[in-house]
Amino acid sequence: MEEVRASAAWVASCSFHVVVDSAGIERAVENIQEIPRIEWDFEGIHYFDNGPLTVQYLFVLDTLNFCFWPDKDLSYDHLASGLKAALENDKSVFDADRLQKFTGPQLRDLLKWPRPLPLEDERIRLLHEVGFELERSFGGKASNLVETCGKSAAKLVATVTSIFPGFRDHSVYKGHQVFLYKRAQIFAADLFGAFKGRGYGEFTDIGSITIFADYIVPAVLQQLGVLKYSSTLVRMIESDNEILSGSEEEVELRACSIYAVEKMRDLLRVKSGKQVLSIELDLWLWAFGVRCPSLRHHRTLSIYY
């Protein structure tokens, strides 16, 4: 996604609150012997049947994959495993017509969650939107959406962000449009990982996908010495203050993370002489972050973060 890379590089060139430390990148890469191969479903929490139903599951999952932190007991694992159990119990639960009728209490019941979800109204709105657009444009099937993209991850991301407004992860930063596309890119990466690069997950340009800047990866990069924060941002994070969605601080955290990991990937390619995918680095950083409870994750109320 060249527009994502270009946006991230531009933000990194003029950011104030977040600085990408070139020496920190070099030190981090020197300490990486290799990027361990992490299986996509390394925790066994996802639904997979090697067919169209898996694609439908992944699209619903990635529609809802944002903002867990306000409920300290809630995590991505609850979402993935809850949707998996619901689909195993009822194969039609994510049919397009049913997605358009979901309510907050129904989604909570589906996930067996005892209280309102963070940004629950937004989650329901997005489910309705996805159900409506799938039914209108793709015969109700996310697999049909994928098939229209001709094995191109970049085209899939472009199609998703064009047709489904809730995936349009844009911000305006210092008067410039910034493209981040976290959840749309995750959908392509999830397909690639789940299907192991075959069938619905076969993409000839999977290397075009960047990392998915969320509230975990920047914290890991800071711990590795790759990102440096202004004193103002440090105080916000250490005080557990919310970082406003669309604020300069949030855009810089996300864009600089993308730019930094692209630079790490380039150095790793030179060091190893092997192809390194940004999505492999993202999975490694994310797995590192979720297993490190001492990290201070960045708190933003956003459907993109």
The residue from 62, 169, 190, 214 that is catalytic is 214
Per-position pLDDT tens, the chain of length 305: 899 999 999 999 999 999 999 999 999 999 887 776 767 776 789 999 999 999 999 999 999 999 898 888 998 999 999 999 999 999 999 999 999 999 999 999 999 999 999 999 999 999 999 999 999 999 999 999 999 999 999 999 999 999 999 999 999 999 999 999 999 999 999 999 999 999 999 999 999 999 998 878 999 999 999 999 999 999 998 888 888 889 999 999 999 999 999 999 999 999 988 889 999 999 888 877 766 656 555 555 444 44
For 31, the token pair is 């300490």
Rounded Cα distance, 17 and 253, in Å: 8
- Cβ–Cβ contacts within 10 Å for residue 121, how many? 10
In sign, the C-alpha dihedral spanning 253, 236, 168, 125 is positive
What residues contact residue 27 under an 8 Å CB cut-off, 6+ apart?
225
- Closest CA relative to residue 116, chosen from 148, 74, 55, 152: 74
pLDDT tens, 148-188? 999 999 999 999 999 999 999 999 999 999 999 999 999 99
For 122, the token pair is 């937004």
| 165: phi then psi, degrees, rounded to nearest 5 | -55, -30
Interhelix angle for 76-89 vs 52-63, to 10°? Answer: 140
What residues contact residue 158 under an 8 Å CB cut-off, 6+ apart?
none
Q: Which residues pair with 18 in a beta bridge?
A: 229
- pLDDT of the residue at 303: 42
| Measured CA distances, 244 to 97, 232, 251, 252 (Å) | 34, 14, 10, 12
Terminus-to-terminus CA distance in the chain, angstroms?
Answer: 18
Q: Is 49 a catalytic residue?
A: no
| 172: phi then psi, degrees, rounded to nearest 5 | -110, 125
